[in-house]
């Protein structure tokens, strides 16, 4: 049976240290023991949607190192179809993550094998991509690969969800395929010269729609999300929770959104569910390790 969600994106080993404060230039601080956890925006989305019971596949590349084995195992354990998880010689992607006292995170990504996921790989997986209900894309893999995957999906009638993370400039024809474009307030401001992340989310959503995406979702952390379509905007609340670690919460949100869209929800209904999944994802350490499973009680 065809997949509900196909993720084309990154897989990283997350090397996580908790710190009381981050070092300035030339400074050393001591942190917690190192935790090595499966992550990467693409893999996080695939695992989150798989845990929620979705039929999910991932097109991605690991390296041929121990991290690659860890990453494949995590995807497999979540029920994700890894038949298109390719292996390159050399290191897997790695994310160096510090988690601060406010449960906030700072991340540096070394792309490793993610940088070797090519348009050729996309074309070789066109059968899987084209048969999906929703194809989910982020920007930790080469941009030509993202553009190729978006076109392959759209040409075959699959819905394209584009998470502009990390924020980089993208061609307008890629934005035009997004339905929705998913951004946080900082990524929204990045796309909108002259606007600030602190601007009214309705204003940001309206301005983003003028860039061409069919719809937009602005994620707002504890403040929920703002959904924008040509018919108007709607605010979606987030349950109030005490965060432990916010790493990967946005990926869980996007995964849940994709899954509900694949199952026929309208965008606002899908975003209401996604906000609850995103809230659940901040309640534990790490990204994937805190994702809820199908049937788990979600914060409300
Ligand atoms: O969104 C969180 C993810 O960003 C982490 O898992 C890390 O791998 C980086 O890709």
Mutate to test the pocket of ligand 1, among 12, 58, 62 (most ligand atoms within 8 A of CB): 12
For all residues of the chain together, what is the average pLDDT? 97
- What mean pLDDT is predicted for residues 277-290? 94
- What mean pLDDT is predicted for residues 268-291? 96
pLDDT band at residue 278 under the 50/70/90 scheme:
very high
- What mean pLDDT is predicted for residues 293-299? 95
pLDDT band at residue 37 under the 50/70/90 scheme:
very high
pLDDT score at 7: 98
Residue 104 has pLDDT above 90, yes or no: no
- Give the pLDDT confidence of 43-85 residue by residue, as tens digits: 999 999 999 999 999 999 999 999 999 999 999 999 999 999 9
Mutate to test the pocket of ligand 1, among 42, 247, 254 (most ligand atoms within 8 A of CB): 247
pLDDT score at 132: 98
- Give the pLDDT confidence of 4-27 residue by residue, as tens digits: 999 999 999 999 999 999 999 999
C-alpha closest to that of 219 among 249, 183, 255: 183
Index of the ligand 1 atom closest to the CA of residue 13: 8
**Is 251 assigned a catalytic role?**
yes
pLDDT band at residue 103 under the 50/70/90 scheme:
confident
Residue 262 has pLDDT above 90, yes or no: yes
Indicate the pTM of the whole model: 0.97
- Give the pLDDT confidence of 147-181 residue by residue, as tens digits: 999 999 999 999 999 999 999 999 999 999 999 99
* Ligand 1 centroid distance, CA of 99 (Å): 12
For the residues of 135-179, what is the DSSP string, one character each? EEE-SSS-HHHHHHHHHHHHHTTPEEEEE--S-----HHHHTTEE
pLDDT score at 102: 86
- In the three-class reduction of DSSP (H, G, I as helix; E, B as strand; rest coil), residue 186 is classed as helix
pLDDT band at residue 1 under the 50/70/90 scheme:
confident
Residue whose Cα lies nearest atom 6 of ligand 1: it is: 39
Contact 292, 280 (CB under 8 A): yes
Domains within the chain, CATH numbers bracketed:
5-19+34-290 (3.40.1190.20)
* Ligand 1 centroid distance, CA of 232 (Å): 31
Index of the ligand 1 atom closest to the CA of residue 93: 8
Contacts of 135 (CB under 8 A, 6+ apart): 5, 6, 7, 8, 129, 149, 150, 153, 158, 159, 160, 161
Residue whose Cα lies nearest atom 7 of ligand 1: it is: 40
- Give the pLDDT confidence of 194-228 residue by residue, as tens digits: 999 999 999 999 999 999 999 999 999 999 999 99
- What mean pLDDT is predicted for residues 259-270? 98
- What mean pLDDT is predicted for residues 87-113? 95
């Amino acid at each position: 049976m065809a997949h509900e969600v196909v993720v084309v994106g990154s897989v990283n080993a997350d090397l996580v240290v908790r710190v009381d404060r981050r070092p300035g230039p030339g400074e050393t601080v001591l942190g917690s023991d190192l935790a090595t956890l499966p992550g990467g925006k693409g893999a996080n989305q695939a695992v989150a949607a798989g845990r929620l019971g979705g039929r999910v596949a991932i097109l991605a590349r690991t390296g041929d190192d121990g991290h690659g084995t860890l990453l494949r195992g995590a995807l497999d354990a979540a029920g994700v179809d890894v038949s298109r998880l390719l292996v390159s010689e050399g290191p897997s992607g790695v994310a160096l993550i510090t988690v601060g006292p406010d449960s906030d995170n700072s991340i540096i990504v070394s792309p490793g094998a993610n940088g070797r996921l090519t348009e050729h790989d996309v074309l070789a997986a066109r059968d899987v991509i084209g048969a999906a209900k929703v194809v989910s894309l982020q920007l930790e893999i080469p941009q030509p690969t993202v553009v190729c995957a978006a076109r392959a999906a759209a040409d075959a009638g699959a819905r394209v969800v584009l998470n502009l993370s990390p924020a980089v400039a993208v061609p307008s024809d890629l934005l035009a395929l997004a339905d929705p474009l998913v951004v946080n307030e900082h990524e929204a401001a990045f796309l909108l010269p002259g606007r600030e992340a602190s601007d009214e989310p309705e204003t940001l959503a309206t301005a983003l729609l003028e860039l061409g995406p069919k719809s937009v979702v602005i994620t707002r952390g504890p403040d929920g999300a703002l959904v924008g379509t040509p018919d108007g905007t709607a605010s979606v609340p987030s349950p109030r929770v005490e965060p432990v670690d916010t790493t990967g919460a946005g990926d869980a949100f996007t995964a849940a959104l994709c899954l509900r869209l694949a199952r026929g929800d309208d965008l606002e209904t899908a975003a209401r569910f996604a906000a609850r999944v995103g809230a659940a994802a901040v309640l534990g350490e790490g990204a994937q390790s805190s994702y809820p499973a199908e049937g788990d009680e979600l914060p409300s």
